[in-house]
Chain A
């Protein structure tokens, strides 16, 4: 059962929640872009004046409840991004004439960061000031894309994507300088994450198999070993303050996920659905617990994963469909509060 007031047609690509429980969602309403702010009580405030036709692929919300969204119209290669006021008013950003926006986030205090594809299949990323001034970053791949941007509370920024036919990742400094991670393999980076200590993780595919690597604060990439050797993709990664990672995707056309200890030891998530599908939505908590979700045999699933890889499912989701995105900044509260109350 969806939140009351969602569109009758379309899908939700991405969700984000801040520490106050305020959230933003983005996706489609029929052929048009759709986005809405969501109060912690579940009340929707639809955002008007978005790109039409078009789609919202990515959303973020800061601590004050202001948002940023990105997407575009894929058929005509028109990028779109907008700042969202806490009242739900959109301010469209001035973007290049071609491309798409795949990822947005907030970093460097109140500045936004957007990334995707620019004109002529170039990679594109830019800072966005609180007033909506867009400052493109230089030094990105001439042929490629930025698929994911991660910023920590301490303003470490890691971007990931593709450079020609190779995995691409780079740190971005406050001044906008781009420092690529070197010696990455053939493939694509679909997701990156970085914690307050500057430790990063990235995931995608290389030679048609799942690929993931840790990135040290010094910029050294260390491939994570023990991943499935079947065809597969890592769609989403996360890393918590202690350096524990979580990778999620598919292997042999089935959902796949694993916790990764800071020393690289894998703890595969056990008990995932066996049907054809994927694991995509993940929210990793500082406690080591995570919410994970995806699709199996055309139906959605959602579960709480404990650090030892065991799953406890939440049921009564929609009969058909998928969980594409999960966001939580509060999971630790119920774990720590409950744990303290029982001491």
Chain B
């Protein structure tokens, strides 16, 4: 299940990348990893907060 919180498109020098902040994703490679998880963020909402930032390419 992919649970996208948001989708971002940015345009720079004719390249277009999409980033999504996700809670979890089943998209994996042969090693069980998700190669599109490019960052992790942490902080605080109403409770402890952490999310992965994933490219949606």
The interface of chain A, by Cβ under 8 A from chain B, is 1-4, 6-17, 20-23, 25, 27-29, 34, 38-43, 281, 283, 289, 291, 293, 295, 300, 302, 304, 306, 312-328, 330-331, 333-335, 337-339, 342
Interface size bracket, B side: 35 or more
Q: Contact between B51 and A328 (Cβ–Cβ < 8 Å)?
A: no
Q: Contact between B41 and A281 (Cβ–Cβ < 8 Å)?
A: yes
What residues of B have a CB within 8 angstroms of the CB of A300 in the complex?
43-45, 49
Since A17-B40, A39-B34, A317-B5 are in contact, a sample of 15 more A-B pairs with Cβ atoms closer than 8 Å, ordered by chain A residue number, is A2-B48, A12-B44, A13-B42, A16-B40, A17-B39, A21-B35, A22-B33, A25-B42, A293-B41, A300-B44, A315-B6, A317-B21, A320-B46, A321-B45, A335-B15
Q: Contact between A27 and B42 (Cβ–Cβ < 8 Å)?
A: yes
Most chain A CB inside 10 Å of its own CB: which residue of B3, B10, B48: B48
Q: Contact between A325 and B43 (Cβ–Cβ < 8 Å)?
A: yes
What residues of B have a CB within 8 angstroms of the CB of A322 in the complex?
43-44
Q: Contact between A41 and B49 (Cβ–Cβ < 8 Å)?
A: no
What residues of A have a CB within 8 angstroms of the CB of B36 in the complex?
334
Nearest Cβ distance between residue A278 and chain B, in whole angstroms?
Answer: 11
Asked if A1 meets B23 with Cβ closer than 8 Å, knowing A25-B40, A323-B43, the reply is yes
Q: Contact between B48 and A1 (Cβ–Cβ < 8 Å)?
A: no
What residues of A have a CB within 8 angstroms of the CB of B43 in the complex?
11-12, 281, 293, 295, 300, 321-325
Interchain residue pairs with CB less than 8 A apart (24): A6-B50, A7-B47, A7-B48, A11-B44, A12-B44, A12-B49, A16-B40, A23-B52, A42-B34, A43-B24, A291-B39, A291-B41, A300-B49, A306-B12, A312-B10, A313-B8, A314-B21, A323-B41, A324-B42, A327-B39, A328-B38, A328-B39, A339-B13, A342-B14
